[in-house]
Amino acid sequence: MIYYTYIYLRTNGTPYYVGKGSGKRAFLKRKKCYAQPPKNKKNIEIIPCLNEQQAFDLEKLLISLWGRKRYDENGVLNNNTLGGEGVSGHRPTKLTIKKRSLQISKSLKGKPQPKWSIERKVNHSKILKNNINVINAAKLRAKKYKKPVFGTNILTKQTKYFNSAEDARAEKFLPHHIRECCSGKRKSHKNFIWKFVNV
């Protein structure tokens, strides 16, 4: 069985949920779950792992890096736990398996499902074979989201400081527009020129 860690991304590219799974788990909707998969399947990032334990470890690492909205300061994830938990090894009864199979069949009926060719799987595994690169990329991404930002109003010279672009949302600024300004992709946002603060 192939295990992986998956990341749900918002339309602006920020992560909102991290989980561990196998098979089609990352693409399925679940009842009573606070983080459903995004409508656009391109916003689901899959990181193949060598085994289940590695998938759990990477899940915990990413959750600790990005933080949880409900419990961590400047957290961006909707996760309710720190990760690493699960029901691996649990064997459901035949009746339970049949019920689940029927529910999944109904939910997927008429919907196009993502298909990974053998060639794509092999190429993807080669790219992510060294998990250190994935972890380093995740760390850099997490730092970018939590980096302090400083804005100066073009007209009034008023200044604004936030611990992260996400914090600016409280004053009706758009975090992804602020990050675009800081990265040089955008000149200004709401008459403010924004820059990352090096700490």
Residues 52 and 123: their CA atoms lie apart, in Å, by 20
Q: How confident is the model at residue 46 (pLDDT cuts 50, 70, 90)?
A: very high
178 phi and psi angles, rounded to 5 deg: -65, -45
Alpha-carbon gap, residue 51 to 53, rounded angstroms: 6
Are residues 132 and 34 part of one domain? yes
Residues near 28 by Cβ (< 8 Å), separated by ≥ 6?
Answer: 37, 104, 107
Q: Helix, strand or coil for residue 192? A: strand
Shared-domain flag, residues 72 and 170: no
Do the Cβ atoms of 35 and 24 come closer than 8 Å? Answer: no
157 domain-assigned: yes
* Stretch among 74-78, 117-121, 149-153, 178-182 having the lowest mean pLDDT: 117-121
Domain that holds residue 179: 147-196
Measure the CA–CA gap between 131 and 2, rounded to whole angstroms.
15
| pLDDT in the model for residue 81 | 83
Q: Both 123 and 158 in a single domain? A: no
Indicate the average pLDDT of the chain: 82
pLDDT tens, residue by residue, 80-134: 888 876 555 455 678 878 887 888 777 777 776 666 666 766 776 666 665 666 6
171: domain CATH number is: 1.10.10.10
Higher pLDDT, 73 or 173: 173
pLDDT recorded at residue 143: 64
Strand partners, 162: 149
Residue 39: CB atoms within 10 A of its CB come to 7
Task: Determine, yes or no, domain membership for 96.
Answer: no
Residues 77 and 151 in one domain: no
Q: CA-CA distance, 85 to 57, in Å (whole number)? A: 10
**H or E element, residue 9:** strand 3-9
Q: Do 136 and 62 fall within a single domain?
A: yes
Region for 172 from its dihedrals, namely left if φ exceeds 0, alpha if ψ lies in -120 to 50, beta otherwise: left
Domain count, the chain: 2
Taking residues 39-62, what's their average pLDDT?
Answer: 90
Q: Is residue 58 part of a domain?
A: yes
The answer to whether residue 156 sits within a structural domain is yes
Let me know if residue 112 belongs to a domain: no
45 and 127 inside one domain: yes
Instruction: Identify the pLDDT of residue 89.
Output: 47
The whole-angstrom separation of Cα 178 and Cα 164 is: 10
146 — phi, psi (to 5°)?
Answer: -105, 5
Within this chain, do residues 153 and 174 fall inside the same structural domain, yes or no?
yes
Lowest average pLDDT, out of 6-20, 37-51, 66-80, 147-161, goes to 66-80
Q: Is 84 left (phi over 0), alpha (psi -120 to 50) or beta?
A: left
**pLDDT at residue 154 in the model:** 93
Average pLDDT on 14-21 reads: 91
Distance from C-alpha of 82 to C-alpha of 59, rounded to nearest angstrom: 8
Do residues 26 and 70 both lie within one domain?
yes
Residue 153: pLDDT above 90? yes
SS3 8: strand
